[in-house]
Chain A
Amino acid sequence: MSKKRFALASAVAAAALAVSGFAVPAHAAGKTLTIWADSTRTPVLKKLVAAWATANNVTVNVVSQTDTNSNFQAAAPKGVGPDLIIGAHDWTGTLAASGLIEPMTGVSTGLFDSGSISAFSYNGRLWGVPFGTENIALVTNLNLVPAGAPTTWASLESTALALKAAGKTTSGLFIPCGGANSCDPYHHAFLNFGLGGYVFQNKSGRLNPKDVGLASKAFLANAGLVDKWVSEGLISKESATGDDYSFKTFFTNKAPFMITGPWELADIKKSGVPYQISMIPNPLGTGNAAPFAGYQGVYLSHYSTNRLLARQFINQVVSTDTFQLGLYNDQGRPPALLSAIKAISGDKDLAGFAAAGVGATPMPNIPQMGSVWTDFGNAWGAVLTGKLKTAAAFTQAAANIKKLIG
């Protein structure tokens, strides 16, 4: 009996060793940097880092993530996160307030577009190095408007309404929002800003979360204009009753104008509609409107065990024209480095987006912005579906947001 048991035990031990033998973790030799990025940027990043990696004998792992921000927040404090993450500027406040990222040092901020630097600044420090910018612009359908893009809001309005009255179009200015229930206010926000509203008061570069200005006096005084534009059909209601960001009406010559960003450029070209990209005229007064702008950049994890190497990567790779132009060529977003912006001044579409981005409003990067999106979007949903008048919708939204921020 005991012999049998011994045989049994040794068999189990043998099997156990066999299984565990397969799984001895490999230990990487030399220097390694791990970068988390979204799936669209991962392939191009891999190409752009290859030369530096070889020259410096570093293994650079670019890992594609579905939700970089929340994965990073979960992984970093456990010491299993990456060294660097590629992300949007409006993560800055959340990541910095939670102590997950390192402030940037030794970055020559003067070489970058000033908007992109302020977008990554929080509590007086720089927390990310920008490489791309994006903002929305006005796209004009040259089939319907052969004269070219309007330069004033009044001419935009009269052109759109004349075409509609003539029965040529069904829609005026198409501004996407993604349905009344889940309306994303990103594209509509320039109307708020143009009519005197703001999200958070900006006091010399620091945003004040206690001062929410979506229902500022100036905005409420002008709110009637939005109601007028919606009811006369200048501002398309489609985006609030539809459920997606479909630009069908524009592509089928049923809308003369739309508002969108560089991410839609490939589809616009594919549609074959002759187009012009230009600044969005200011809905009040002259000049251009101030749409929301977003910036992409790289953040350094506080938990990186290769912090110094990672900073070297930022200085020697991210802050170079080669890297920024490489991403521009792949992604179609203007770079953040001034020298790189200059290098592509011949790109007509980009010039249009750049003109629209002059004086743009960086999306607030403080954590309290998380309390804003839902109500801000719901207000637009209510206005576009005609459920509420503009003044009432934004008064309610501002009150709700103030309550949420507490």
Chain B
Amino acid sequence: MKIFSVKTPSKTFGLLLKLAAMGSINGFALWAIPLLLRNHTYGFAAYFIFATFVLDVVYFSRRKFIPAKYIAPGVLLLMLFSVYPSIYTGYVAFTNYSTGHIIDKKTAVSEIVANSYQSLGDATPIPMTVAKDAASGELTLLLTLPQVGPEAGNAKGLTPLAADSVTQDSKGVITAAKGYTILTSDQANNETDALTALKVPGPNGSVYVANDLQSAQQEVQSLKYDAATDTITDIQSGATYKPDSNGEMKSAAGTILQPGWTQVVGWRNFSYVIHDKNFRQPLFQVLWWTFAFAILVVTTTFFAGLALGLALNHPKLRAKKLYRSLLIIPYAMPGVLAALVWVGMYNQDTGVINRMFGIHVPWLTSPWWAKAAILLQQLWAGSPYMFLIATGAIQALPSEVLEAASVDGASPRQVFTKIKLPLVLLTLSPLLIASLAYNFSNFNAIYLLTGGGPLMQNSGGLAGSTDILISYTYKLAFSTGEGANYGLASTVSFLNFILVASLSMYGFSKSRTMENMN
């Protein structure tokens, strides 16, 4: 009875909390799923139904899924925010998604045909009123044609309107016509898609098309699409355009019609990475520096952090908390801001570093100094983090072991190299591996400080001396050929992912062996 009375309040509170949380989740799903269905994003709708169902079962079922209660939310979020983007990137790597190829084929073809309508002669707008046939309800353009007069046009053609059956304003715009209901501009605007599609046949193969809600234009079509043969034909010259392997309509003479469309191109992006000389040439240097950068950043920041941790852990040191708080500052500073400040400090002429020492080091413009500049900045930015985790690891060292060592007469150096360092490394190795993986793709560190520069000689004009794989990919994707190439960028990201993942896996399996030896 006593136990019951103690436990009940917290249980009720927990239940309320659970109900509130689950209610919000279900409410969110109820709100989101119809919207997703309406926007035709069926994949996400299915995912939200699945996720909500899983969560409801896990938390309300009579069976107690205790482990699932802990991991289900995390796994569901991981699927949404990590697994899905990775799979999508993998998919894009096999497509030609790039400038000129970002819409689907159906839209591209209809656009090529629609854009082939060109205005005839001078483009003087024809006064137009949007109406509906009072009898059939068919959408009709009431046009005041120059030198002809008022006519009603629909998909079948033009019908002259008797002068006494229409009312026109001073500009010739028809404001009323017998047998037709004039649409208000709101109503006309709601018919935009139908109006754009309406081509009223005119003389000599021309058509009248609505130009805006009040005027029309006489236009002539120059390209037509044949769905049966999947070709586009030039009406005048008779030239035919067929889909090519790169997702665009191409004539026998090699003329390409824009826009093209996105399509799966198989291994083409991968073979480009391997075979293209411009890409491959600087790749070796970029790869070399990627490894050097990641390894050097992790080792320098780790040893700097460890040294600081050991020094500030000394029992006789005063004001430890103050030092520790001060050391956190670089870690707490927004990285973008810090990088910009460093760019200013590194400036060869006006930068504070060169001025302070009266030197003239080309920090950001010489290939080797730029590398040094990046490592130095990363040391500053990264060591506080390493200091934090090293301090934690040092404080967790079993004191009896250290005491035993000093009793056995071990020198401080021996205590450090034989006991402290191996134990700290053992604890921190997963973190170091994660840090290594992170730095392999540390785009910000490079891009904000040097932009990958200075430019490497004979690099095809893209790769810089401080570019790592990911910043090189960025340049490659966004400043080559004809605009952005997302497909190629995804391919390189995909390869980068494989590199990082296999390194991490190797690292983790190594550290597991270390643990087992322990």
Contacts and interface: CB of A to CB of B under 8 A. Distances in A.
Nearest to A376: B461
Given A56-B185, A243-B343, A374 B192 contact: no
A98 B259 contact: yes
Interface string A1-17: 00001001101111111
Considering residues A96, A99, A242, which has the most beta carbons from chain B within 10 angstroms of its beta carbon? A99
B213 A309 contact: yes
B11 to A, nearest CB: 13
Contacts of B211: 105-106, 308, 311
Interface string B42-60: 0000000000000010001
A406 B481 contact: yes
Contact of A182 (B212, B214, B451): B451
B244 interface: no
Contacts of B481: 368, 370-371, 404-406
B115 interface: yes
Contacts, number: 203
B168 interface: no
A268 to B, nearest CB: 22
B31 interface: yes
Contacts of A98: 99-103, 259, 483
A103 B116 CA distance: 10
A83 to B, nearest CB: 10
B210 A77 contact: no
Nearest to A246: B350
Contacts of A400: 460-462
Nearest to B483: A367
A309 B349 contact: no
Interface residues of A, number: 69
B461 A12 contact: no
A146 interface: no
Interface string A308-321: 11111001000000
Nearest to B475: A374
B300 interface: no
Interface in A338-386: 367-368, 370-371, 373-375, 378, 385
Nearest to B350: A242
A309 B195 CA distance: 11
Nearest to B365: A180
B263 interface: no
A30 interface: yes
B100 A97 contact: yes
A31 interface: yes
A211 B26 CA distance: 61
Contacts of B454: 180-181
A125 interface: yes
A404 B460 contact: yes
By CB atoms of chain A within 10 A, which of B196, B343, B480 has the most? Answer: B480
A43 B24 CA distance: 38
Interface stretch (B15-23, B149-157, B225-233, B327-335): B15-23
Contact of A311 (B100, B212, B479): B212
Interface string A95-118: 011111011011110000000000
Interface string A376-406: 0010000001000000000011001101111
B107 interface: yes
A221 B118 CA distance: 45
A404 B278 contact: yes
Interface string A61-76: 0000000000001000
Given A57-B185, A106-B211, A367-B99, A15 B460 contact: no
A361 B24 CA distance: 59
A112 to B, nearest CB: 13
Q: Which of A5, A8, A370, A385 has the largest count of B CB atoms less than 10 A from its CB?
A: A370
A222 B115 CA distance: 44
A201 interface: no
Contacts of A378: 455, 461
Given A370-B479, A371-B481, A404-B480, A308 B195 contact: yes
B462 A12 contact: no
B273 interface: no
A216 interface: no
B186 interface: yes
A140 to B, nearest CB: 25
Contacts of A102: 115
A370 B22 CA distance: 50
Given A11-B19, A241-B347, A400-B460, 17 more contacts: A5-B62, A9-B60, A15-B20, A16-B26, A19-B26, A19-B27, A56-B185, A98-B100, A98-B101, A99-B259, A102-B115, A105-B219, A241-B349, A243-B350, A374-B462, A403-B460, A404-B479
25 contacts: A12-B60, A16-B27, A19-B24, A19-B31, A20-B27, A20-B28, A20-B30, A23-B31, A30-B186, A77-B107, A98-B99, A99-B103, A103-B115, A125-B115, A125-B118, A182-B451, A242-B349, A243-B347, A308-B188, A309-B189, A309-B212, A312-B214, A370-B484, A403-B461, A404-B460
